[in-house]
A = this chain, B = another copy of it.
Amino acid sequence: MRCDEDIKQVIIIRNDLKMGKGKIASQAAHASLAAYKKVLSLDKKIVECWEENGSKKVVLKIESLDKLNEILRKLEDFNIPYVVIIDRGLTQVEPGTLTAVGIGPWLSESIDRVTRDLKLL
């Protein structure tokens, strides 16, 4: 792959959980770091290209777990690397709650096929 392709990381936050902004920030950080490590183990070159171009990150919201599960199925179908963040539930949410998803860094074009209907958080 060439470094002139658009690459980004997308973080999806469950907006239906009514997490406070500190909680959202920590879930986003977990998702970003875990997805980064996953992609680094799969495709170091794409991570390097992403970093060279400013490590673009976009945070989107989703309004239900059902809708999020649809997204996850599509990510599987398109073979796009992602991680799910499951909260231990010590604060604000029930234990085992899926709070956030980290996608990529990966080709923006591929990610957009899956997330194009989601809005910015």
A residues in contact (CB < 8 Å) with B: 9, 11, 13, 20-33, 36, 54-55, 57-59, 61, 88, 120-121
Contacts and interface: CB of A to CB of B under 8 A. Distances in A.
Contacts of A58: 26
Contact of A22 (B30, B55, B61): B61
B31 A28 contact: no
Contact of A11 (B13, B29, B57): B29
Contacts of A31: 29
A17 to B, nearest CB: 12
Given A33-B33, A33-B36, A25 B55 contact: no
27 contacts: A9-B29, A11-B25, A11-B29, A13-B22, A13-B25, A21-B24, A21-B121, A22-B59, A22-B61, A25-B25, A25-B121, A26-B28, A26-B59, A28-B28, A28-B29, A29-B29, A29-B31, A29-B32, A29-B33, A29-B57, A30-B32, A30-B55, A30-B57, A32-B32, A33-B33, A33-B36, A33-B55
